[in-house]
Structure 1
Amino acid sequence: MKPDRPERPNRPTKADLAAAVHLTLPDVIAPELRVLFCGINPGLYSAATGHHFARPGNRFWPALHRAGFTDHQLDPAEQLSLLDAGLGITNIVDRASARADELTPAELVAGGVALAAKAEQWRPHWIAILGVTAYRAAFRRPKAKIGPQDDPAGPSRVWILPNPSGLNAHFQIADLAREFAHLRAASEQQH
């Protein structure tokens, strides 16, 4: 039996989405997390609803569940329950935009510096960056590939996962779940 789900808020209107430009979302974070998932930046839908990875079609929540991180597929409105599982969410760049390609290289580099500072403050065991292209730009690692990285962010180990956006057609949900599961296994060994 699935737990009761929170009521899904009404979908944001075009006006709500337009008003969400440059909004930020608070991090879902606590000290010593097992994994801190790091998106590129909030989309307008997420900023308008106040929940990470909220746009229908984003595959973060299904991949997280299918990989075994959660016992059921969470709704974005349940994001705070991640903390009970030792998981959290942040972003490289805080401001919302319609598309990640609207971010400047300087914003991504500054976001990489800010993420390393969060790692120093909160000390997650792993930071899982959701998007290899954003990682390459933010950390100036042009040859980085999906998987664990040699270079840490502060005290935290770094793992690159594919971007779960529905726009990333290179990875289907089963592929995403498999990549997420590799990280889950590594995070359980370390914890």
Structure 2
Amino acid sequence: MGFTASELQAASGNVIPDVIAPGLRVLFCGINPGLWSAATGHHFARPGNRFWPALHGAGFTPERLKPADQDRLPGYGLGITNLAPRASARADELTADELAAGGAALAERVITFKPAWLAVLGIGAYRTAFARPKATIGPQPDRIGDTGIWILPNPSGLNASYQLPRLIEEFGKLRAAAAG
């Protein structure tokens, strides 16, 4: 299914509901919905986004799910939310204030739902949202309540630094930690 430029632009500013439940193993947190996701109502929906292949490749799901399957995630102990709720064409359209406000709201969701791990998908957004300029990919020394924090690379096709095999490797490290 494709969208015209005007249909995608009309989705700008749309919000996608979280896929969340109490006590998840991992709550994945994107930066914000892209326009394709906002138009479909599904997280990581843009063709070329590598979230779903990385999730399966790392062993989080027994089959490769599609964005339309997102509501199956809690059955695997997984969920999805975003730092900033507002959809945009690119994550770099968000302001530092939006990311900081999103970090505070995310912390509240984590305290409420108590996932074992919060996996933030995007190091730059995490650094800005949580005022941790030296954070690196992987587990963080900080926690939100009892929830551990893990930073994963952004799975967007625009992130050329991390191709799918390397994303799967990083997702796999979190899966191993979440299983133990």
Common topology (TM > 0.5): yes
What letter corresponds to residue 49 of structure 2 in structure 1? N
* Correspondence 1:1-191 to 2 at 5 A: 10-189=1-180
What letter corresponds to residue 48 of structure 2 in structure 1? G
SS in 1 for 2:38: helix
What letter corresponds to residue 158 of structure 1 in structure 2? I
SS in 2 for 1:150: strand
TM-score (norm 2): 0.98
What letter corresponds to residue 5 of structure 2 in structure 1? K
More strand by share: 2
In the TM superposition, residue 16 of structure 1 has moved relative to its aligned partner by: 1.6
In the TM superposition, residue 15 of structure 1 has moved relative to its aligned partner by: 2.1
In the TM superposition, residue 168 of structure 1 has moved relative to its aligned partner by: 0.4
For residues 65 and 175 of structure 1, what CA distance do their matches in structure 2 show? Answer: 13
For residues 87 and 32 of structure 1, what CA distance do their matches in structure 2 show? Answer: 9
What letter corresponds to residue 41 of structure 1 in structure 2? N
Provide Cα deviations, 1:16-37, integer angstroms capped at 9, x if missing partner.
2111110000000000000000
Aligned pairs, how many? Answer: 180
Provide Cα deviations, 1:7-58, integer angstroms capped at 9, x if missing partner.
xxx3222222111110000000000000000000000000000000000000
For residues 23 and 94 of structure 1, what CA distance do their matches in structure 2 show? Answer: 8
Give yes or no for contact 1:21–1:97 (8 Å, CA) kept in 2: yes
What letter corresponds to residue 146 of structure 1 in structure 2? I
What letter corresponds to residue 136 of structure 1 in structure 2? R
Give yes or no for contact 1:152–1:158 (8 Å, CA) kept in 2: yes
For residues 94 and 129 of structure 1, what CA distance do their matches in structure 2 show? Answer: 14
TM-score (norm 1): 0.93
What letter corresponds to residue 161 of structure 1 in structure 2? L
For residues 73 and 25 of structure 2, what CA distance do their matches in structure 1 show? Answer: 11
For residues 114 and 135 of structure 1, what CA distance do their matches in structure 2 show? Answer: 13
What letter corresponds to residue 51 of structure 1 in structure 2? H
SS in 2 for 1:115: helix
| Unmatched tracts of structure 1, length 5 or more | 1-9
In the TM superposition, residue 182 of structure 1 has moved relative to its aligned partner by: 0.3
| Unmatched tracts of structure 2, length 5 or more | none
Q: Runs ≥4 in structure 1, deviation > 3 angstroms? A: none
Provide Cα deviations, 1:134-163, integer angstroms capped at 9, x if missing partner.
000000000000000011123311000000
